[in-house]
Amino acid sequence: MLHNPKSLRPQRDPVVDRLLAEIRGLDEASVQRSMLPAGCYTEPAFFEFEQKEVFARTWICVGRVEELPEPGDVMPAEVAGEPMIIARADDGQIRALSAVCQHRGQIIPCEKAKGRRNFRCPLHFWTYDLQGRLVGAPRMGDAAAMRSLREAVALPQARVEIWHGFIFVNLDPEAPPVAEGFAKLEPFWDGYRDAGLVPVPPSMGSTPLPWNWKTHVENFTDAYHPEYVHRGTHDFAPSTHPDGDVVFTPMRQGDNAIVRSVPMIRPDGGMMLDGWGEPAMFPAIETLAPEQRKRLTFALMPPSMTLVFAPGAVAYTLIRPVAALGTLAANDRVTGGGWLLPQSTLDLPDFAERAATVLKGASKIWAQDLPVNLSMQAGKNSRFLPDGIYGPLEVTLQQFNFWLFRAYTRAG
Ligand code: FES
Ligand SMILES: [Fe+2]
- Per-residue pLDDT reduced to its tens digit, 69-104: 999 999 999 999 999 999 999 999 999 999 999 999
Q: Cβ(140) to ligand 1 under 6 A?
A: no
pLDDT at residue 331 in the model: 72
Is a pLDDT exceeding 70 seen at residue 5? no
pLDDT band for position 28 (50/70/90)?
confident
Residue 72 near residue 117 (C-beta atoms within 8 A): yes
The share of the chain scoring above pLDDT 90, in percent, equals 92
**Count of CB atoms situated within 10 Å of the CB of 184:** 17
Task: Look up the CATH architecture of domain 61-162.
Answer: 3-layer Sandwich (2.102)
What is the chain's length? 412
pLDDT band for position 6 (50/70/90)?
very low
Q: Average pLDDT in the 271-296 region?
A: 97
Q: What is the 8-class DSSP label of residue 163?
A: E
Q: pTM of the full predicted structure? A: 0.95
Q: Mean pLDDT in the chain? A: 95
pLDDT band for position 397 (50/70/90)?
very high
Q: Cβ(103) to ligand 1 under 6 A?
A: yes
The share of the chain scoring above pLDDT 70, in percent, equals 96
* Residue 149: its H or E element: helix 143-152
Tell me the per-residue pLDDT of 153-205, one tens digit each, with 9 for 90 and over.
999 999 999 999 999 999 999 999 999 999 999 999 999 998 999 999 998 88
Is a pLDDT exceeding 90 seen at residue 2? no
Tell me the per-residue pLDDT of 346-392, one tens digit each, with 9 for 90 and over.
999 999 999 999 999 999 999 999 999 999 999 999 999 999 999 99
In degrees, rounded to 5, the angle at the alpha carbon of residue 297 between the alpha carbons of residues 341 and 214 is 105
The structural domains of the chain, with segments of one domain joined by +, span 61-162, 179-411
Best mutation site among 98, 126, 128, 155 for ligand 1 pocket (most ligand atoms within 8 Å of CB)? 126
Q: Average pLDDT in the 221-243 region?
A: 96
- Rounded to the nearest angstrom, the distance between the alpha carbon of 246 and the centre of ligand 2 is 15
- Rounded to the nearest angstrom, the distance between the alpha carbon of 76 and the centre of ligand 1 is 19
Is a pLDDT exceeding 90 seen at residue 332? no
Q: Cβ(273) to ligand 1 under 6 A?
A: no
Q: What does R_g of the chain's alpha carbons equal in angstroms? A: 22
Tell me the per-residue pLDDT of 39-79, one tens digit each, with 9 for 90 and over.
999 999 999 999 999 999 999 999 999 999 999 999 999 99
Task: Look up the CATH architecture of domain 179-411.
Answer: Alpha-Beta Complex (3.90)
